[in-house]
C-alpha cells in the first residue's frame, strides 16, 4: 500500500501492455499533433518519470526527492515555446526542462538531471548545491522557492523586454519578441507574493504597457496535505481584468499542446499576460518523506494514479501514432535501462568536499562587464545646465545623492530608477527630484505601492541587462518583501554556480532620529535582516562628501560584478547642514564631478582624527553624533579618533582591527537595537582579535522607536556617547 512508486510503475507496464488505457478526462475539442512530435514529448515524459522513480528508490544517494510525476504535461509548454523564452519554473517541471534542452540541441538533459539529483559537483547548473531546475544555455534561471516568490521577478523580466526595446538597450539579453514563462502550483497561487505578481502584471497590461508573460498554474488540487477547493482557481482567475485565461488538461498531451500553443501565441502577439490553467495530478505524494496515506484515503490516491499522464499519452500514441502497447512498453523499459546506466555514472561523480568549494559561487564573477566611459564635459554640462548654482555651493547628503544619481544615469544607459513616488514627486525627501525630467519616464518611473513588486521588478530587469536602482521608501517597508532579497536575489549566483546574476542597487531610506515624521515605521533601526545574508553588500553613507563616491562604487559593483547592493541612506541626515553649532555648515560638502572624486572602494573605512586614547567605531547617525560629541570630549582631555564603517556588510575585519590597533580603549556606537545589531559582530570580531578587554558599546534599547521626543529615550545620543566615552577611558 505504501510503496506507491512501484505500484504506479508496475501499473503503467501492465495496463499499457493490454491496451487498458484511461478514457479522455473531458470532451476535448479535436486537436491532433504530428506523431513524431508526440513520440518525442513522450520520451521526455518517461525520462522524467524514471528519474523520479530512481530518486525515490535511491535513498541516501539522491536528495530532495520532490518529483515531477503527474506534471509531465509541462513538456508541452517547452515544445510550444522557444528556447529563448526565459522560464522561471515550478519544482515539478522536470519534463519541461528535459524537453527544452532537447530542443536546444547539443545538451545532455538526462545526465544533467541525474547529476543534480545526486548533488554532484559536476551538476551543470548548481554545481551540487541544490537540486534545482535550470539551464543557462536555454534561458532557465534556477529557482529555489517552494512557494511563489519567483513570480514577481518573472513579471519584472517581462516588463524589462518592452523597456529594453524602447530604450534601445545594447545590454539586453532577451529578444524583443520573446515572452516569459512562469509556472507554479495551485496552492502557491494563494500566496501573497503570487497575488502581488498577478496584480502587477494586470495593472501594467490594463494601462497598455507590454507584459508578455504566461503564468502556468499546474493545478493538481492539493498543496502538501491541504486540498484546493474545486473550481477555486478558475473562479479566481478566469475573469481578472487584463488577464487572458486559458484552460487545458495537462494529462492529455494533445490538449496540453493546444493550451500551451494558444497561450504562447497570445502572449507573443498581444504582449499581454496569460493565465494558463493546466490540470495535473500529483503522484507519489508531495516528496519522498511524505506519507500521503496519512491524510488521503486510499481510494483518492488510487483515483489520481488512474489518471497518470503517461497512461493518457500512451493512449494517444496508440490512437494517433499507431504504436502498440508492446512497443510503448518497450520504449518505457529502454528508458528505464538508460536512466539506470546514467544514474550509476552520476552517483560515481564527486560531490562538494569542503566549505571553500561550497561557498565559491556566493559572489558572482568579478569584472564580467566593463563600465562605460565617463561622458564628455559638453554632454554633462548640458545635463546639469539648470543646476549650476547648486553645484557651486556646498550641498547636503540628499542633494549629493541626487547629483550622483544623475551622473551615474548619464554614464550607464542601463540604469533605471523606480519606486513609490520617486518620479513626479521626486521622493518623499526630494532625493530623486528632477531625475525624470532629465532622463524621461522610461528610465525614472513610479511603481505600485508594493515592495515585493518593486524588488521583483529589479531582479527581473537584472536578468535582462539592466542595473536597476529601486527605492524602498522606508527601511521598515523592506520587511514586507525581504525574501525577494534573501531568497531570490542573493541566492541566484550561488545556486547557478555563477552562471546567472541579478545586479541591482537598492536604495533604502532608513535608520532613526527622524523628529518630525515618525513612529517605528519611519524610524526603523533594524539592519539585522540584511547583514546576515551571504553575498550581498550593505553600504551606509553618512555625509555629502562620501555618498557620491560610495554610490558610484555600488553601481560599479553591480554592473561589473553583478552584485546585489543595499544602499541605506540615513533619513535624519538627508537635509542636515550643521554639525556643532547653528549655521556652521560643517555637514555639507561641495559636490565634485566623477573624475575629480576620490574613490571609496568596497570595505574602505573612514577615519576622522588620529587620537590614540580612544577609538569610536560607528556608522550612520552614530558617526554624526560622535562627531558632535568630539569637541566636548577633547575639551576633557580625551584624545580620540572616530571610525566610520561605511560598509556594514561584509565588514572589513582587517581594516577595522588595524584602525584601532594603537588605541587602548574602543567604544562602539550603534543606533540599532542591542540584540542582533552590528555591535555584536564588532564585539565578537575584536574579542577574537584579542581586544575584547578594550571594548565597550552603546546601542539602542531592545525596543521599537516611539513617536516624538520619547524616541530619544531609547536611542544613543550625544550626551550618552560622551558619558560612555568618559567611562571607557576612566
**Structural domain containing residue 536:** 377-596
Give the Å distances, CA to CA, from 252 to 214, 220, 248, 372, 524.
20, 14, 8, 52, 53
User: Which of helix, strand or coil describes residue 596?
Assistant: helix
Give the Å distances, CA to CA, from 667 to 624, 641, 675.
15, 10, 17
Examine residue 357 and state whether it is found in any structural domain, yes or no.
no
Examine residue 653 and state whether it is found in any structural domain, yes or no.
yes
Examine residue 361 and state whether it is found in any structural domain, yes or no.
no
Q: Find the angle CA(342)-CA(343)-CA(348) to the nearest 5 degrees.
A: 100
Examine residue 617 and state whether it is found in any structural domain, yes or no.
yes
Contact 146, 447 (CB under 8 A): no
Of 568, 596, 624, the residue at which a domain comes to its end is 596
Examine residue 28 and state whether it is found in any structural domain, yes or no.
no
Whole-angstrom distance, CA of residue 401 vs CA of residue 407: 10
Whole-angstrom distance, CA of residue 354 vs CA of residue 364: 19
Helices (H), 571-677: 620-635, 653-659
Residue 613 and residue 570 share a domain? no
Specify the number of domains making up the chain: 3
Residue 318 and residue 190 share a domain? yes
Residue 680 and residue 532 share a domain? no
Per-residue pLDDT at 29? 59
User: Which of helix, strand or coil describes residue 446?
Assistant: strand
Examine residue 431 and state whether it is found in any structural domain, yes or no.
yes
The helix-helix angle for 4-17 and 325-347 (nearest 10°) equals 150
Per-residue pLDDT at 496? 97
Whole-angstrom distance, CA of residue 291 vs CA of residue 305: 15
Closest CA to 51 of 111, 135, 125: 111
Contact 459, 503 (CB under 8 A): no
Residue 126 and residue 62 share a domain? yes
Burial class of 77 by CB neighbour count within 10 A (0 to 12, 13 to 18, 19+):
buried
Per-residue pLDDT at 708? 86
Residue 589 and residue 612 share a domain? no
Closest CA to 8 of 351, 309, 293: 309
Report the CATH number that the domain containing residue 255 is assigned in CATH. 3.40.50.970
Whole-angstrom distance, CA of residue 408 vs CA of residue 404: 6
Residue 389 and residue 259 share a domain? no
Per-residue pLDDT at 286? 87
Closest CA to 248 of 93, 72, 36, 73: 73
| Ranges of the chain with pLDDT below 50 | none
Residue 511 and residue 588 share a domain? yes
Q: What are phi and psi of 531, to 5 degrees?
A: -85, 15
Residue 474 and residue 330 share a domain? no
Residue 395 and residue 443 share a domain? yes
Report the CATH number that the domain containing residue 702 is assigned in CATH. 3.40.50.920
* Number of helices and strands in the chain (H, E): 26, 19
Cell numbers given for 478: 523592506
Closest CA to 672 of 606, 614, 620, 613: 620
Of 306, 329, 349, the residue at which a domain comes to its end is 349
Q: Which residues contact 300 (CB under 8 A, 6 or more apart)?
A: none
Residue 495 and residue 415 share a domain? yes
Find cell 511603481 and name the residue.
447
Residue 322 and residue 300 share a domain? yes
Residue 628 and residue 579 share a domain? no
Per-residue pLDDT at 28? 66
Q: What are phi and psi of 278, to 5 degrees?
A: -105, 115
Examine residue 367 and state whether it is found in any structural domain, yes or no.
no
Examine residue 29 and state whether it is found in any structural domain, yes or no.
no
Query: pLDDT of 53-89, one tens digit each?
Result: 999 988 778 887 789 999 999 999 999 999 999 999 9
Facing residues of 249 across strands? 279
Amino acid at each position: 500500500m505504501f510503496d506507491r512508486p512501484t505500484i504506479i510503475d508496475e501499473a503503467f507496464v501492465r495496463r499499457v501492455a493490454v491496451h487498458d488505457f484511461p478514457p479522455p478526462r473531458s470532451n476535448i475539442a479535436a486537436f491532433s499533433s504530428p506523431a513524431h512530435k508526440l513520440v518525442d514529448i513522450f520520451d521526455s515524459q518517461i525520462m522524467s518519470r524514471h528519474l523520479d522513480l530512481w530518486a525515490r528508490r535511491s535513498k541516501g544517494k539522491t536528495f530532495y526527492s520532490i518529483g515531477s510525476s503527474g506534471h509531465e504535461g509541462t513538456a508541452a509548454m517547452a515544445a510550444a515555446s522557444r528556447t529563448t523564452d526565459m522560464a522561471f519554473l515550478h519544482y515539478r517541471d522536470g519534463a519541461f526542462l528535459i524537453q527544452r534542452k532537447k530542443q536546444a540541441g547539443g545538451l545532455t538533459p538526462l545526465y544533467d538531471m541525474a547529476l543534480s539529483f545526486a548533488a554532484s559537483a559536476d551538476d551543470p547548473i548548481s554545481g551540487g548545491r541544490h537540486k534545482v531546475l535550470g539551464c543557462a544555455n536555454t534561458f532557465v534561471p534556477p529557482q529555489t522557492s517552494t512557494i511563489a516568490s519567483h513570480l514577481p521577478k518573472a513579471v519584472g523580466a517581462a516588463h524589462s523586454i518592452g523597456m529594453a526595446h524602447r530604450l534601445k538597450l545594447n545590454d539586453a539579453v532577451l529578444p524583443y519578441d520573446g515572452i516569459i514563462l512562469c509556472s507554479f502550483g495551485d496552492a502557491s497561487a494563494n500566496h501573497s507574493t503570487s497575488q502581488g505578481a498577478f496584480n502587477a502584471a494586470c495593472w501594467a497590461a490594463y494601462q497598455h504597457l507590454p507584459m508578455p508573460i504566461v503564468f502556468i498554474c499546474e493545478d493538481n488540487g492539493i498543496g502538501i496535505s491541504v486540498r484546493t477547493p474545486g473550481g477555486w482557481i478558475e473562479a479566481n482567475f478566469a475573469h481578472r481584468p487584463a488577464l487572458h485565461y486559458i484552460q487545458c488538461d495537462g494529462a492529455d498531451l494533445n490538449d496540453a499542446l493546444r493550451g500551451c500553443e494558444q497561450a504562447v501565441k497570445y502572449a507573443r502577439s498581444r504582449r499581454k499576460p496569460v493565465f494558463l490553467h493546466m490540470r495535473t495530478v500529483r503522484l507519489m505524494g508531495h516528496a519522498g518523506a511524505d506519507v500521503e496515506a496519512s491524510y488521503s484515503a486510499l481510494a483518492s490516491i488510487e483515483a489520481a494514479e488512474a489518471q497518470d499522464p503517461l497512461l493518457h499519452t500512451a493512449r494517444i500514441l496508440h490512437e494517433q501514432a499507431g504504436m502498440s502497447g508492446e512497443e510503448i512498453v518497450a520504449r518505457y523499459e529502454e528508458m528505464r535501462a538508460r536512466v539506470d546506466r546514467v544514474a550509476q555514472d552520476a552517483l560515481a561523480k564527486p560531490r562538494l568536499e569542503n566549505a571553500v568549494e561550497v561557498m565559491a559561487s556566493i559572489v558572482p564573477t568579478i569584472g564580467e562587464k566593463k563600465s562605460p566611459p565617463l561622458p564628455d564635459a559638453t554632454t554633462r554640462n548640458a545635463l546639469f545646465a539648470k543646476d549650476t548654482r547648486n553645484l557651486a555651493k556646498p550641498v547636503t547628503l540628499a542633494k549629493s545623492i541626487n547629483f550622483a544619481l544623475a551622473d551615474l544615469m548619464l554614464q550607464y544607459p542601463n540604469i533605471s530608477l523606480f519606486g513609490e513616488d520617486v518620479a513626479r514627486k521626486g521622493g518623499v525627501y526630494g532625493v530623486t527630484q528632477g531625475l525624470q525630467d532629465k532622463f524621461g519616464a522610461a528610465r525614472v518611473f513610479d511603481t505600485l505601492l508594493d515592495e515585493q513588486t518593486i524588488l521583483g521588478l529589479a531582479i527581473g530587469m537584472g536578468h535582462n541587462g539592466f542595473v536597476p536602482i529601486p527605492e524602498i521608501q522606508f527601511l521598515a517597508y523592506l520587511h514586507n518583501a525581504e525574501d525577494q532579497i534573501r531568497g531570490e536575489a542573493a541566492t541566484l549566483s550561488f545556486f547557478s554556480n555563477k552562471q546567472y546574476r541579478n545586479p541591482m542597487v537598492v536604495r533604502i531610506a532608513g535608520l532613526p532620529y527622524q523628529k518630525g515624521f515618525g513612529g517605528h515605521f519611519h524610524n526603523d533601526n533594524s539592519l539585522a535582516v540584511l547583514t546576515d545574508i551571504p553575498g550581498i553588500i550593505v553600504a551606509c553613507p553618512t555625509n555629502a562628501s562620501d555618498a557620491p563616491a560610495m554610490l558610484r562604487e555600488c553601481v560599479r559593483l553591480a554592473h561589473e560584478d553583478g552584485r546585489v547592493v543595499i544602499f541605506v541612506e540615513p533619513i535624519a541626515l538627508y537635509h542636515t547642514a550643521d554639525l556643532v553649532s547653528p549655521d556652521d555648515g560643517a555637514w555639507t560638502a561641495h559636490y565634485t564631478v566623477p573624475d575629480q572624486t576620490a574613490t571609496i572602494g568596497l570595505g574602505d573605512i573612514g577615519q576622522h582624527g588620529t587620537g590614540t586614547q580612544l577609538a569610536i567605531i560607528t556608522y550612520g547617525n552614530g558617526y554624526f553624533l560622535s562627531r558632535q560629541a568630539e569637541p566636548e570630549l577633547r575639551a576633557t582631555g580625551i584624545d580620540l579618533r572616530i571610525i566610520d564603517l561605511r560598509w556594514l556588510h561584509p565588514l572589513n575585519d582587517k581594516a577595522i582591527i588595524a584602525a584601532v590597533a594603537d588605541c587602548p580603549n574602543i567604544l562602539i556606537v550603534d543606533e540599532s537595537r542591542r540584540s542582533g545589531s552590528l555591535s555584536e559582530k564588532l564585539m565578537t570580531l575584536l574579542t577574537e582579535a584579542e581586544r575584547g578587554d578594550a571594548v565597550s558599546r552603546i546601542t539602542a534599547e531592545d525596543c521599537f522607536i516611539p513617536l516624538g521626543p520619547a524616541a530619544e529615550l531609547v536611542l544613543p545620543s550625544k550626551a550618552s556617547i560622551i558619558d560612555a566615552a568618559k567611562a571607557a577611558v576612566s
